[in-house]
A and B are shown apart, each in its own frame.
Chain A
Amino acid sequence: MFSQLAIFFLILVLTSWVLGWRRIRVPQQAGGPRPRSRAVYHGFYNALWCALPMLAVALAWLAVEPWIIRPVVLHALAESTGQATANEAFRFVEIRNLASGVLPMERAGEAVRRAVELYQQLSLKADIVMTVLLVAAGLGGLVSGYKRISNTLPAREKVEVFVRVFLFTSSSIAILTTVSIVLALALETLRFFQHVPLLDFLFGLKWSPQIALRADQAGSSGAFGAVPLFTGTLLIALIAMLVAVPIGLFSAIYLAEYARPAIRHVAKPVLEILAGIPTVVYGFFAALTVAPLIVEFSGSIGLHASSESALAAGLVMGIMIIPFISSLSDDVITAVPYSLRDGSLALGATKSETIRKVLLPAALPGIAGALLLAVSRAIGETMIVVMAAGLAANLTANPLASVTTVTTQIVTILVGDQEFDSPKTLAAFALGLTLFCITLALNFLALHIVRRYREQYD
């Protein structure tokens, strides 16, 4: 269905291009008067007249269709069961999955089965209506565009206006993305806070999102205190920064100030490879190699380490962040004007004294910005902690113990079967919004520091 429509769309658009082009091209070749725009622009003009109405119809249909069929199906379902449908969104998705064969029909009850049949009938009708509308829109556009084409039509100007609008729309997708992230997360989070008070979420010390099976069971609402998640995230990020900052910073200094070009040529790609390794690979490395090593080592000095220790995840995350810090700091250090270096060296300072007392202070805002960005990376990193950190929300600062993080909990809650509208599922969105706000704040802060102090030495 979908692919046939797509092919039909392409054929119609191509035809209208050729028709528009020929309408100008043929009389012109026969020695007619010179048109205002070249024939290709008339082709594009006609193609746009044909394509845009079809796209508009298709988009409008996609947006409207579920809201037409959904209430009808749910209403029918409610009537045949004799009670109001709870969890409407969930029910409807289930019906749709049953209809498309994703879920087996055997599991469905009689009422649901009838609803599925109704859905299938309705969506078949809907498909027919949509096809008719699409064809009508395409042909209508083609004809009215074709009628407008003449030697005096400023086709190029019209097409160029469209091109400019298209370019602008593409670049505003960034805004659209941000807005939809905020809206989507905020809506679900608001629903979460109808179940759980905001203060309990932000300052609660206990996190156990399990929902009891029966409503009268003790602790049936679960506990949604996010403090252990934040401390766990911060502990792992701190360990990561303890590894990455010295190594990354000293690598950057060495590469920028000491290394011969030959060493730079070898060392830079090594760091770039570290940056390009997928995080799932780091996660595997942390869980398979580093964590057992830590257990063994701490066992040999008489300490007990969890097999999902914060240390393992933090160490490996540190390795992941090294190239991030080193390349950002490298840029910042290299950007310090040469006059500063020369002045310091001319006063008899050694190279390391110049670096420590002149270059680093000059580059400090940039380096601080880089470190903040690295922290934001570490906090938002998902796969390493999902694979190497634990699930138990322990409130501890012991790096050998198992802690859990914000991202780990989001993944744990949302992977697999979800209950719609349960506080547990909504909690993941609340965590996501918190994470988004924290990383956004860190990024703005980093940018602000860099902007504020950047041109001081120029």
Chain B
Amino acid sequence: MAISPENVRRRLRAEKRFRFYGVAALLSAASALVFLVSTIVSSGHTGFYRTTLKLEFDLDPQRLGIETPYTADTLRDGHYYTAVKHTLYALFPEVTSRAQKRELSKILSPGAALDLRQYVIDHPGQIGQAVSLEVPIASDFDQLYKGNLPRTGRHTRLSEAQMAWFDNLVERGLIEYRFNPGFFTGSDSRYPELAGIGGAITGSLFTLLVCFVLSFPLGIAASLYLEEFAPDNRLTRIIEANINNLAAVPSIIFGLLGLAVLLGFFGLPRGTPLVGGMVLALMTLPTIIISCRSSIRAVSPGVRQGAMALGASPVQVVFHQVLPAALPGTLTGTIIGMAQALGETAPLLMIGMVAFIASVPASPLDSSAALPVQIYLWAESAERGFVEKTAAAIIVIMSFLILMNILAVIIRSRTQTKVE
């Protein structure tokens, strides 16, 4: 090949092009991430807020239909929904016909009556007086206020009159836009404005707890055996091949295993964090074993030899020297495994953690939702109001994942200084 200036220029151009491809690839990966995160944040940030309607209630016992003595039981049966409706009607004296009133009452969320009831139960002393309360409004109006629902066009779900009434309430300063703590404490609901992820977070915590309790000791024990005791024979190689293969088995297969064996054969309760945690433990075990083994391998052989020379038995060497030195590393691996388990959805669908659960689970033996499953359920829902809830729940789960990863990084950086 002759060296001509033209040839060199061509080759240098090819070099530049090649380099550009690399930059372009990285930039497209980064822009995909930015696009994804910005979509989620822009549609999810309003999910943490809710709009409320400030109403002046006259807590007349007759109108509420409650009788003395005022105990939680008697107060539970009042006509709170009627009371809230009539208080709203009073704001619009011009609305008289039945049909119009029915349309007007659509502004209220079913949660409004529940809030009023709770207030009366908590403050029986206020009965007979006038109180000002902020009650939730229906999801469509909430979305309208947040600008997520178009006012015109074929997607409009509200009538002209309803929008005019709502605008009037906004003008009068009765509509408040506030942070919604109920999103973190509440459970699933048919009504987007009342739905929360408290139940799902608790369910996920129970699931992760079961998963951790099973996979951490088992993972460490398996890695200790493979690194410190296993003879180099056929059986050991089969175990190692199995672990590597399980790490690549699709998660849904573990769900099928849970469905057929844990639910079908052992008859464990369906849809509970107990079963979910067991399935996720089997799934994360290979990940945990692989990273635990590398941190056990990183313990200097001098430590082992020193302990042996002082007369320690092999088991003593492992449990008194190797394990304490490797523990932070194994913890890092376990946290990464737990982060993987937290985001896993498909196996939980298989073992029935998809039911509509409107309560916060009290133990790992109660049926419950989990955070990723809740995201799936809301994402599949047709209600417009659930979109922002889904995205907000995604923001929460991603924050948990980032926290767990930061924790893992911190522990890892500590070990590095300790081992060296």
The answer to whether B253 touches A254, judged by C-beta atoms less than 8 angstroms apart, is no
Let me know if B372 is at the binding interface, CB within 8 A: yes
| A contact set with B: CB distance below 8 Å | 2, 62, 66, 89, 93, 96, 100, 102, 156, 160, 163-164, 166-168, 170-175, 177-178, 180-181, 184-185, 187-188, 246-251, 253-255, 258-259, 267, 270-271, 273-274, 276-285, 287-289, 319, 322-323, 326, 350-353, 355-356, 373, 376-377, 379-383, 386-387, 407, 410-411, 414-416, 428-429, 432, 435-436, 439-440, 443-444, 447
The answer to whether A270 touches B267, judged by C-beta atoms less than 8 angstroms apart, is no
A2, A270, A356 pick with most chain B CB within 10 angstroms: A270
Interchain CB contact (< 8 A) of A160 among B12, B250, B315, B343? B315
Quick check: A280 and B376 within 8 Å, CB to CB?
yes
The interface residues of chain B lying within 8 Å CB-to-CB of A171 are 221-223, 225-226, 230, 239, 243, 289
Cβ contact of A177, chosen from B43, B267, B282, cutoff 8 A: B282
Q: Which residue of B is nearest A270, CB measured?
A: B30
Stretch binding the partner chain, chosen from B129-137, B151-159, B179-187, B391-399: B391-399
User: How many residues of chain B have a CB within 8 Å of chain A?
Assistant: 89
Please, which residues of chain B bring their CB within 8 A of the CB of A173? 218, 222, 282, 285
Closest to A89 in B: B264
- Cross-chain contact A62 with B266 (CB below 8 angstroms): yes
Chain A residues whose CB sits within 8 angstroms of the CB of B261 once the complex forms: 180, 184
- Which residue on A lies nearest to B397, using beta carbons? A278
Shortest CB distance A327–B (Å): 12
Q: In the bound complex, do residue A440 and residue B346 qualify as a contact, i.e. CB atoms below 8 Å apart? A: no
Give complex CA distance A288, B230 in Å.
Answer: 50
In the complex the two chains form, what is the Cα distance from A278 to B398 in whole Å?
8
Chain A contacts of B375 at CB under 8 A? 280-281, 284
Hey, which chain A residues are within 8 Å of B239, CB to CB?
A: 171-172, 174-175
Report which of A96, A167, A267, A355 forms a contact with B221, defined as CB distance below 8 A: A167
Contact B23 A188 (CB under 8 A): no
**Nearest A-chain residue to B271, judged by Cβ:** A102
Known: A174-B286, A351-B15. A180 touches B33 (CB 8 A): no
- Alpha-carbon distance between A246 and B315 when the two chains are bound, in angstroms: 50
**Interface core residue of A163, A326, A435, A444 (most chain B CB under 10 Å):** A163
Contacts A174-B243, A273-B33 aside, 16 further interface pairs with beta carbons under 8 A come to: A156-B313, A167-B222, A174-B222, A177-B246, A185-B253, A250-B22, A255-B22, A259-B22, A267-B30, A278-B401, A326-B29, A352-B19, A380-B252, A411-B349, A414-B259, A415-B354
Q: Which 3 pairs across A and B sit closest by C-beta, in order of nearness?
A: A380-B250, A254-B22, A278-B343
* Contact across chains for A180 and B372 when beta carbons are under 8 A apart: no
Contact string, B339-366, partner A, CB cutoff 8 A, digits 1/0?
A: 1001111100110001000000000010
CA distance A192 to B285 in the complex (A): 31
- Report which of A62, A258, A435 forms a contact with B253, defined as CB distance below 8 A: A435
Main secondary structure of the interface of A (DSSP, over half): helix
CA of A387 to CA of B345, assembled, Å: 12
17 examples of A-B residue contacts, CB within 8 angstroms? A2-B365, A170-B217, A171-B289, A173-B282, A175-B242, A184-B261, A185-B253, A254-B19, A271-B29, A276-B339, A278-B342, A279-B343, A280-B375, A284-B390, A284-B391, A285-B36, A407-B252
Contact assessment for B11 and A353 in the assembled complex, using a CB-CB cutoff below 8 Å:
yes
- The answer to whether B29 and A251 have CB atoms under 8 Å apart is yes
Contacting residue for B248 out of A356, A373, A410, CB 8 A? A373
B14 CB to nearest chain A CB (Å)? 6
Query: Which one of B18, B26, B238, B242 lies within 8 Å of A267 (CB-CB)?
Result: B26
Nearest residue, chain B, Cβ from A319: B32
A65, closest chain B residue (CB): B267
Are B260 and A251 in contact (CB-based, < 8 A)?
Answer: no
Is A352 touching B15 in the complex (CB atoms < 8 A)? yes
CA distance A443 to B286 in the complex (A): 15
User: Once the chains bind, are A381 and B394 in contact (CB under 8 Å)?
Assistant: no
Counting chain B CB atoms within 10 Å of each CB, which of A160, A250, A322, A414 scores highest?
A250
